[in-house]
Amino acid sequence: MSRQTKKPLAKRGAGGDRPKGGRPAKTGAAKVGAKGGAKSAAQGGPKGTIKGAVKGGAKVGAKSAGLRADRSATARPPRERSGERIERPAGSRSAGDRPHSARPGRPPQRQNSAAPSRAPRAARPDQGVREAFAPESAKPAVEAALPTKVQTVTVSADENGMRVDRFLEARFPGLSFSHIQRIVRKGELRVNGKRADSKDRLEEGQSVRIPPLKLDAPKTGGNLSEAQQKTLAQLKEMTLYEDADVLVLNKPAGLAVQGGSGTTRHIDQMLEVMRDAKGQKPRLVHRIDKETSGCLLVAKTRFAATALTGSFRSRSARKVYWALVAGVPKPKQGRISTYLAKEESEDDSIMRVAKHGDEGASHAVTYYALVESSAQKLAWVSLKPVTGRTHQLRAHMAHIGHAIVGDPKYFNIENWQLPGGLQNRLHLLARRIVVPHPRGGVIDVSAPLPPHMLQSWNLLGLEHDRFDPIEHAPEE
């Protein structure tokens, strides 16, 4: 590629943003003692250098210590300073900045003893684990009393910018997703006297009218039904990475991320069984298509959801996809930049390549790199989406004439036959996700090939452990 390459985020983040510990300041005795020692050394000549330095340093340093002792009598009592904490900058850290103790070697202390402790997460060999705690602004707002009648609440500073549905989830743990959607759809919830959508963002000081709510009892591991325990076990089998804040699932192909028309089982519904003791449910951070398998990022806390969503919005999160496409792209590496707009039909909707200025058109950018080809008929490509439009990768590969194998919406190559032994299923994998951890460090997780893609790789003789050239693609 013609543009200057950049190092992947995973390499830059690994251990590169560790906060530096504070060094104890030199006392007056040490400073002046060193100065006096140097002067005495100079006067003592070469022979008496060391002896003169020690003697002069001790003499002048003791004098300085005595002066400081006299001044300290008027200083502020130590007890007034014992609770001070100093915030130290941590380089390029994002939403996970934490205050550290002012004294070196002393671990950070929690301000709220009631806050749940987080289990240490596993560290990669090239990445250290930093113990950190949520800032005051990240702590959940005080839960409101159970609403037995219509009530009006005011949006607080901590809730500024929250979506309406997230606002209700945070205020009333145990409130089901379907109940939230129902009261919003019926107009029973009002913001400043007006109807609101569940995706609308709230502003500090706004007045929210809340109707009587029916709260579900929080689910815990001890009272799950047999079906719920089975669902929890399935989620555990999908788990690629988990800590107190973040969960990365290996979503199988064919399982939807969210509900829709005719969809009764999906990841968002399955996450209901993972509600904590306060009734808080893990939140989806992004989405991937139903037929796409691979890495799906989930936030287990409100603090993590805010930080991770911000990483996607600022494009500091990096995603890599693998696909099997028809033909061999030329050049072997390139950049696809188009505008995409949704095109509705009676049966379905697709994303079409549009022109700048068209209604509903959004700019979409994808980098691709050829990894390996098979008989000039099929190619394994690695894809890095810069933007995150619906069906972006599928529409872009079809646009350049190399549609993804098994794509029911965008594969329209005439007289093309699927090689024997390959399943006619979408060959697209969300291979890897690299994102800053909300509490410092970097999350770097990769998903294995799903069964139908692994079968194709084996039949075509593709080596799935080859070097991925998309590593050198630009990140903007």
What pLDDT, on the 0 to 100 scale, is given for residue 466? 83
What pLDDT, on the 0 to 100 scale, is given for residue 302? 85
pTM (two decimals): 0.58
CA distance 473 to 367: 7
Domains recognised in the chain with CATH numbers: 28-67 (no CATH), 151-210 (3.10.290.10), 221-309 (3.30.2350.10), 316-472 (3.30.2350.10)
What pLDDT, on the 0 to 100 scale, is given for residue 146? 52
What pLDDT, on the 0 to 100 scale, is given for residue 65? 44
Residue 379 CB neighbours (<10 A) = 23
Q: Residue 92: which residues within 8 A CB-CB, separation 6 or more?
A: 17
Strands 246-251 and 239-242: antiparallel
Q: What is the mean pLDDT of the chain?
A: 75
Which of 268, 289, 407, 468 is catalytic? The answer is: 289
Residue 290 CB neighbours (<10 A) = 17
Give CA angle at 59 (55, 64), nearest 5°.
Answer: 145
Reply yes or no on whether 243 is catalytic. no
| Unique residue bearing structure tokens 């693998």 | 322
What pLDDT, on the 0 to 100 scale, is given for residue 476? 66
Is the pLDDT at 436 greater than 80? The verdict is yes
pLDDT digits (tens, 9 = 90+) for 286-317: 999 999 999 999 999 888 998 999 999 888 99
What pLDDT, on the 0 to 100 scale, is given for residue 277? 75
The fraction of the chain above a pLDDT of 70, given in percent, is 66
Long-range contacts of 286-291 (CB under 8 A, 24+ apart): 286/312, 286/388, 287/257, 287/258, 288/251, 288/257, 288/430, 289/391, 289/394, 289/426, 289/428, 290/253, 290/254, 290/255, 290/256, 290/257, 291/253, 291/254, 291/408, 291/425, 291/426, 291/428
* pLDDT range class, residue 330, cuts 50, 70, 90: very high
* pLDDT range class, residue 69, cuts 50, 70, 90: very low
Q: Provide the β-strand partners of residue 430.
A: 294, 321
Which strands, in side-by-side order, build the sheet including 207-210? 151-154, 207-210, 190-191, 194-195
CA distance 196 to 193: 9
Is the pLDDT at 51 greater than 90? The verdict is no
What pLDDT, on the 0 to 100 scale, is given for residue 212? 86
Is the pLDDT at 48 greater than 50? The verdict is no
* pLDDT range class, residue 119, cuts 50, 70, 90: very low
Q: Are 267 and 284 in contact (CB under 8 A)?
A: yes
Q: Are 321 and 438 in contact (CB under 8 A)?
A: no
What pLDDT, on the 0 to 100 scale, is given for residue 222? 56
